[in-house]
Homo-oligomer: A and B are copies of this chain.
Amino acid sequence: MTIECGTSRITGCQFTLFPMSDDFAEVILSTLEKVDMSKVWKSTDDVTTCIRGKRVHIFDVTKALFLHAAKTGKHVAMSGTYSIGCPGDSSADVYMDESNELMNESSSEAVQQQAGCKFSLYPLGEEDYMEKIYQQIDWSKTTEVSVSHAHYATRLDGDVHDIFRVLQQSFEQVQNVVSHVTMTFTISANSPSNQKEQEQ
């Protein structure tokens, strides 16, 4: 299947940042102040935030939000779904004219943070979707992050920059061959729990 304009299709992410602290509102507000969201369309309510625009900016903004929140040292998590090619999507096309220059990469680079992340890819409308998922899991094992299997998801552990690089590239590679793709993720930093899995 060939997809026209593969590099300029509108991408979105519906996500929530969860600071596990009494001053969660301040953590979110101070994080928002540090992140430049001028190149994405944005809509926020009390459940999630949705941003839409060029893929590079969607990943730039979500990574920056998580990094600046985690930098507070508080236990923070972020959960959401990236989406591209949704037939029900309406356009916010003005943001597709923005340049590719990343607005947050330099401030993000200054933050070093370890995290754990679980993600799942959903290539839609295709019978051989499992094969495309397995290809990405195999590919992710060739990267800097530590990759492990979880039920219904793949777990990535490592530096947040590396984790988002794997997320972005996995999403990128699948949307090259499948029109409508979603990718869910939950990323967590500064958790007091150890990572040891506990099964009952």
Which of A's residues lie within 8 Å of B, judged by CB?
12, 14, 16, 18-22, 24-25, 37, 41-48, 50, 52, 75, 77, 79, 81, 83, 86-89, 116-118, 120, 122, 124-127, 129-130, 133, 150-153, 155, 182, 184, 186-188, 191-200
Whether A191 pairs with B77 at a CB distance below 8 angstroms is: no
- Give the complex CA separation of A186 and B46 in angstroms: 11
List 14 A–B pairs whose Cβ atoms lie within 8 Å, in order of A's numbering: A16-B186, A18-B20, A20-B20, A21-B22, A25-B192, A45-B197, A46-B188, A47-B116, A47-B117, A47-B186, A47-B191, A50-B152, A86-B152, A120-B182
Q: Which B residues are in CB contact (< 8 Å) with A193? A: 45-46
Known contacts A16-B186, A77-B18, A200-B41; A47 and B124 CB within 8 A of each other:
no
Closest B residue by C-beta to A22:
B22
Q: Which B residues are in CB contact (< 8 Å) with A127? A: 125-127
